[in-house]
């Protein structure tokens, strides 16, 4: 969005003392350890991209589908 001019790029900020300071980059996505582990699975990454869901939701959907698939092979 910065490239398109929709957001202004702020490299510095002005403090209360009137001095300018460099801004630190802000990370929008800060994954938990569980999300990091989950995202090591390429199927989860693919599902995240397709559905626009987060890592844990994508993992749950994959497990649900695998479970349904197992039921078709081994009906109870």
pLDDT tens digit sequence for 2-61:
566 555 566 777 888 988 888 777 667 788 899 899 989 999 999 988 888 889 999 999
Own/partner long-range contacts of 63-72 (Cβ < 8 Å, ≥24 apart): none
In the chain, domain spans? 12-73
- Distance, in Å, from the CA atom of 76 to the CA atom of 44, rounded to the nearest integer, reads 28
What residue has token string 């749950």? 60
In the beta sheet, which residues pair with residue 72? none
Of the candidates 41, 73, 71, 72, the residue with the CA atom closest to the CA atom of residue 56: 41
Contact 31, 39 (CB under 8 A): yes
Of 72 and 67, which is predicted with more confidence? Answer: 67
């Amino acid at each position: 969005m910065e490239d398109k001019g929709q957001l202004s790029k702020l490299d510095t900020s002005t403090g209360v003392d009137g001095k300018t300071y460099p801004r630190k980059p802000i990370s929008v996505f800060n994954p938990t350890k569980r999300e990091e582990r989950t995202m090591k699975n390429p199927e989860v990454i693919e599902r995240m991209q397709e559905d626009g869901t987060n890592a844990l939701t994508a993992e749950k959907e994959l497990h649900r589908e695998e479970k349904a698939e197992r039921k078709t092979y081994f009906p109870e």
